[in-house]
Amino acid sequence: MRPELVDFHCHLDLYPDLAESIAACDSRRAATLAVTTTPKAFRRNVELAAESEFVRVALGLHPQLVAERASELILFESLLVETRYVGEVGLDAGPGHYRSFEAQKRVFARVLDLCEAAGDKVLSVHSVRAATPVLDLVERVLPRTRGAVIMHWFSGSVREAERAVALGCYFSVNQRMFASENGRRIVSALPPELLLTETDGPFIKVEREPIKPGDVGQAVNMLAELRGWEPEVTRSQVLSNLHELLA
C-alpha cells in the first residue's frame, strides 16, 4: 500500500506502548521515521517494527544525551550497517546542553564521517541554536552525493535556511512551527519540493495530550494555509518529496 501521510520525525519508543504507536502509524498509513535517542534503543524499535509497512527505524545519538552517552558512539558505529536511516543526531547549544557542545561536535562529526563512508544514508538532524555549526559540519563532511540531510524542526534564521537549501537539505515541519513568526517566515521561504511533515511526538501536545503518532493532518493544513495551497495538493506534494528523497 502507498502511504497517505508523512511523519518524518517521531519518537515512537517514548510513548507508553511502542507496539501500539507503530500500529497507529500503520492505521493512518503514515510513512513514519521512528527516530531513536540512543543506539541502545535501536534494536528494540527494529524488532517491533519488523512487520510494519509504514515505519522505518533510525539509529540515533541525541545531542542532548551526549554528555552521558558519548561512549555509545562505538555501538552506533557497529549498528550503522543495519539501517539506511540516522536520527536523531545533531547539535544543541541551548543553555541546558552547552557545556557538552564540544563533545557534541566531535560526536556529530564522527556520525557524518561514518555516513559519508557508507553512502546513501538519510539523516534527521537537530540544530537548536546551532544551525550554522551544523551546516558547517555537513558542508565539510557529508556532500549531498553521499547522503541526505533533513533539518528537523528548524529554528535558525532565514539566511541559515537558505544556506541549508543550497546544501541540498530537506526540512521536516510540525504544527508547532506555525505558532511563531520566525517559524512561519522560514516555512514560507522554503522551496516546496524540500518540505516534509513531522509530529515530533510525543513532545508536541494537542489539548494537553501528546500528539498521536502519524497525526500530521494539522501540520498539512497549516502548511497549506500558509503557502496558499489546497490541503490535498499539499499532502500530495509532501508525499512526492518523500519519494524523491528516498529514490
- The cell numbers describing 161, all together, are 535556511
Domains and CATH numbers, the chain: 5-246 (3.20.20.140)
Q: Is 215 helix (H, G, I), strand (E, B) or coil?
A: coil
> How much is the pLDDT for 129?
98
Q: Is 236 helix (H, G, I), strand (E, B) or coil?
A: helix
pTM of the model: 0.97
Q: What share of the chain is helix, strand, coil (3-state, %, to 5)?
A: 55, 20, 30
> How much is the pLDDT for 170?
98
DSSP β-bridge partners for residue 150: 124, 170
Residue 211: closest CA among 36, 5, 7, 65: 7
- The cell numbers describing 50, all together, are 519488523
Q: How many Cβ atoms are within 10 Å of 220's Cβ, its own excluded?
A: 21
> How much is the pLDDT for 168?
98
> How much is the pLDDT for 1?
85
Q: Where are the alpha helices (DSSP H) in 29-130?
A: 42-49, 66-69, 73-79, 101-118
Q: State how far the alpha carbon of 167 is from the alpha carbons of 72, 88, 137, in Å.
A: 29, 19, 11
- Strand 147-152 relative to strand 121-128, pairing: parallel
User: What torsion do the CA atoms of 101, 60, 244, 241 make, to the nearest 10 degrees?
Assistant: -70
Residue 149: closest CA among 178, 187, 116: 116
Between CA 222 and CA 145 the distance in angstroms is 32
Q: Give the pLDDT confidence of 45-61 residue by residue, as tens digits.
A: 999 999 999 999 999 99
Side-chain half-sphere CA neighbours of 166 within 13 A = 9
Mean pLDDT by 10 residues, the chain (247 residues): 96 98 98 98 98 98 98 98 98 97 98 98 98 98 98 97 98 97 96 98 96 98 97 98 97
